[in-house]
Each structure stands twice: as structure tokens, then as C-alpha cells.
Amino acid sequence: MKPIKKPAGLDSAALRLKALIGRAGFVRRDRAARALFVSDHPRHVSQSAAQALEDTLASQGWTVALSGGLARLDWSFDTYRVFFEELAQSPPGPEECGLARILRRHPGAFCPGMIRQARSALLIWDAGAQSALRARAGAALALSLRRREAVPAFYTILLDRPVIRAAGARPAAD
């Protein structure tokens, strides 16, 4: 019997979102990082159907922003918070990240003003770009220390749990 493969990174969120939108349009990662995902469903459904879908998405923790016939689909602050809390409960990766160890020495926080930074970090993490994520986390640490602010707590969680996909596997909904 084959082992069950767990979706990596944001794949499970993409699959749940695709199930909510159905055949109304595509769902893919937002390459411009203005949201986690984008969809063209507003182009393919009536205005009332689009509004009903937006209400359904909002009830599931998604925010929808329309722009040029596309819907930018992002998580609400609470959904980000729950995602990071659940990810923190999962076992860390096989190798410890030195920067994550340094980040843990400082008080961490996650507040609504950090959503843009969290989204960007999450998309970098999802792409498997650990070196870019380390660079981003290092810059955030330096800025937090200069400003005497709490370090964004999500960097430690993401650095400790790198996304590992099977060779040649593509992210879901891309």
C-alpha cells in the first residue's frame, strides 16, 4: 500500500479554495503577492452569483478584492493566525535553521499590521525558496531590533518547517 502524501505548503488551501469556487474560474497563486491566490471567477458568473460566492468565501475566512475582472483571494487575519498556530504544532524539518534559533531569542508577535509581510513570507515559503525566506527574516529581525519592536513570529515557524515537494511536483492550483 502506498503512503498517503500530505499536500505541501499552501496546496491544501488551494485545493479547498478550488472546491469552493468550482468550475466558475481558475485559482492560482498570486505572483504579484497582492493576495495568496487570484481567480477569474467574476468574469464567468453573474453579479449575484459572484456576490454569493464572496459571502461563502468570507464565511470560510477569505477576503475578496476585485480588480480588473480578477478576484484577489486572501486570508483574514484570524485565518492567518490559525494557519500559523497549526503549522507551529507540526514537527519541524530535519535541519534546524540558525536564524530561527536567533529569532526565538527575541519576543515575537503577529498583529493585523503584519499581514502584508506574512503573505509575502508565506508565498516565498510555499515556493520553497528558503534562502530568500532567510534573507527576508534577517531583514525583519534587524528592523525589529532597530525599532525595539517584537519580531514577526511567523518567520520562526516558516523557517523551521521548509516546504518539501516530490521531485517534479507542481504546487496545487498553479
| Pair (56, 89) in one structural domain | no
Q: Residue 124: what pLDDT? A: 95
Tell me: do 25 and 63 sit in the same domain: yes
Both 87 and 35 in a single domain? Answer: no
pLDDT at 1: 42
At 102, list the grid cell.
536567533
Domain boundary among 48, 75, 102: 75
Same domain, 61 and 45: yes
**If pLDDT is split at 50, 70 and 90, which confidence band does 141 have?**
very high
Model confidence pLDDT, tens digit, residues 56-93: 999 999 999 998 889 999 999 999 999 999 999 988 88
What's the pLDDT at 72?
A: 95
pTM here? Answer: 0.86
Are 85 and 133 members of one domain?
yes
Q: Please tell me whether residues 85 and 148 are part of one structural domain.
A: yes
130 and 153 belong to one structural domain: yes
Distance CA 63, CA 137 (A): 26
Average pLDDT for 117-132: 94
| 27-29, strands of its sheet edge to edge | 27-29, 37-39, 70-75, 62-67
Residues 103 and 33 in one domain: no
Domain carrying residue 105: 78-160
- What is the DSSP secondary-structure string of the chain? -PPPPPPPTTHHHHHHHHHHHGGGS-EEE-TTSSSSEEE-GGGTS-HHHHHHHHHHHHHTTEEEEEETTEEEEEE-HHHHHHHHHHHHHSPP-SS--HHHHHHHTS-EE--GGGHHHHHHHHHHHHTT-HHHHHHHHHHHHHHHHHHT-PEETHHHHHHHS-----TTPPPTT-
Q: Which residues, in sequence order, are bridge partners of residue 27?
A: 39
> Same structural domain for residues 96 and 148?
yes
Say if residue 85 is in the same domain as residue 153.
yes
Is 166 part of a structural domain of the chain? no
How many structural domains does the chain have? Answer: 2
Over residues 22-69, the pLDDT tens digits come to 888 899 999 899 999 999 999 988 889 889 999 999 999 999 999 888
Q: For residue 84, what pLDDT is reported?
A: 95
If asked whether residues 119 and 150 sit together in one domain, one would say: yes
Confidence of residue 5 (pLDDT cuts 50, 70, 90): very low
User: Among residues 24, 41, 75, which one ends one of the domains?
Assistant: 75
Last residue of a domain, one of 29, 58, 75: 75
| Mean residue pLDDT across the chain | 88
Q: Do 130 and 101 fall into the same domain?
A: yes
Closest CA to 36 of 135, 130, 119, 141: 119
